[in-house]
Amino acid sequence: MTAPLAPRLAVIVVAAGSGTRLGRPEPKAFVTLGGRTLLEHALEGVFAQPEPAQVVIVAPASHRGDAAAIGRRVAGPVQDAVTVVTGGDSRAASVAAGLAAVAEGADVVLIHDAARALTPPEVFTRVVQRVRAEQVGVIPALPVVDTIARRDHSGAVLEQVDRSELAAIQTPQGFPAEAYRAAVTAVVPGAEHTDDASVFAAAGHPVVTVPGDERAFKVTTPWDLRRAEHLVSGGRPSLRTGVGIDVHAYDESQPLWLGGLYWPDEPGLAGHSDGDAISHAICDALLSAAGLGDIGSRFGVDDPRFAEARGEVFLTATLELVRDAGFEVVNVAVQVVAQRPRFAARRHEVEALLTRTLGAPVSVAATTSDGLGFTGRAEGVAAIATALLHS
Ligand code: CTP
Ligand code: MG
Q: Per-residue pLDDT tens for 307-324? A: 777 888 899 999 999 998
> What is the count of structural domains for the chain?
2
**Is residue 265 a part of any domain in this protein?**
yes
Burial class (CB in 10 A: 0-12, 13-18, 19+), 282: buried
- Residue 374 is labelled as binding a ligand: yes
**Is residue 243 a part of any domain in this protein?**
yes
Sign of CA dihedral 9, 31, 196, 127: positive
Q: Determine whether the shortest distance from the Cβ of 126 to ligand 1 is under 6 A.
A: no
Q: Which band of pLDDT confidence, cut at 50, 70 and 90, is reported for residue 238? A: confident
Last residue in a domain, options 208, 232, 256: 232
Last residue in a domain, options 213, 232, 251: 232
Task: Say what the pTM is.
Answer: 0.69
Give the domain range for residue 84.
9-232
Q: Which band of pLDDT confidence, cut at 50, 70 and 90, is reported for residue 24? A: confident
Kindly report the CATH number assigned to the domain that includes residue 369.
Answer: 3.30.1330.50
Residues 221 and 127 in one domain: yes
Kindly report the CATH number assigned to the domain that includes residue 134.
Answer: 3.90.550.10
C-beta of residue 249 within 8 angstroms of C-beta of residue 266:
no
Burial class (CB in 10 A: 0-12, 13-18, 19+), 150: exposed
Residues 150 and 84 in one domain: yes
Residue bearing the CA closest to ligand 1, atom 17: 17
Helix or strand holding residue 133 (H, E) = helix 121-134
243 three-class SS: strand
As a dihedral over the C-alpha atoms of residue 272, residue 276, residue 281, residue 286, rounded to 10 degrees, the angle is -90
Residues 296 and 359 in one domain: yes
Residues 303 and 378 in one domain: yes
Residues 295 and 381 in one domain: yes
Residues 157 and 260 in one domain: no
**Is residue 4 a part of any domain in this protein?**
no
Q: Determine whether the shortest distance from the Cβ of 21 to ligand 1 is under 6 A.
A: yes
Q: Which band of pLDDT confidence, cut at 50, 70 and 90, is reported for residue 234? A: confident
Nearest ligand (C-alpha, residue 17): 1
Last residue in a domain, options 232, 253, 276: 232
